[in-house]
Structure 1
């Protein structure tokens, strides 16, 4: 069973995503802030990271930078998720190697297609 690390501070969205990902046969590990994200990534060794950009304790780009510097997570696909409509965020996310982008709100099909695109299914 593949593992996903969900880093999302919105409790309702986090619950919905955990249920959807479990239905997609992922083992889900989750944290709600940037501070605990790296520790959980190293501990859980995920196959993919779903990463909110706006987080307590730092932003998703800071977390992504740390993930890319650590040997255990340097090639792990990252799917950035955000409710912000600022186009520069998607541009900035595209600069991160092996990254993908989902604009909130997104549906199950968009999530599935993005997981497929990053070869996580």
Structure 2
């Protein structure tokens, strides 16, 4: 049995990617919850109170940029670590992520072992604070 590593909320409108991320993190001992878009994320984040949110950028209803901004602007959620996962790899996008205050930025297609490494590091940092 894997050691509990913390809670992660996986947010992606693509069910295949959402499940891929969730399965990989579950196998590493994380408690994983999922959300289908930014609105679903904001509805669930307080009840889940994850250490880390993995957040797709391009989603219907509420995109990852706005979702990250709202997480950062709310005192109840501004401490949660955010990993943006997106096909958008331009430097302007990375700069925008930094300006919002996201903690990590992974581009699709991503290496699952890199994702796990990033989430582990952020979860350990979150739990140490």
Is the TM value for this pair above 0.5?
yes
- Kindly indicate whether residue 8 of structure 2 is the aligned counterpart of residue 4 of structure 1: yes
1:114 CA displacement: 1.4
Aligned length: 120
Structure 2, unmatched stretches of 5+, are 125-129
Classify the secondary structure of the residue corresponding to 1:58: coil
Give the structure with the larger helix fraction. Answer: 2
Shift, 1:98, TM fit: 4.9
- Structure 1 residue 94 corresponds to structure 2 residue 98: yes
> Structure 2-normalised TM-score?
0.85
1 or 2, which has the higher strand percentage? Answer: 1
17, 31, 35: which one aligns with 1:31: 35
Per the normalisation by structure 1, the TM-score is: 0.90
Give 1:107 shift.
1.2
Question: Runs in 1 of length 4+ with deviation above 6 angstroms?
Answer: none
Larger RCO: Structure 1 or Structure 2 (Cα < 8 Å, ≥ 6 residues apart)? 2
Q: Deviations over 1:54-103 (max 9, x none)?
A: 11102111101111122221111100000123331111111222521001
Two-structure CA RMSD over aligned residues (Å): 1.4
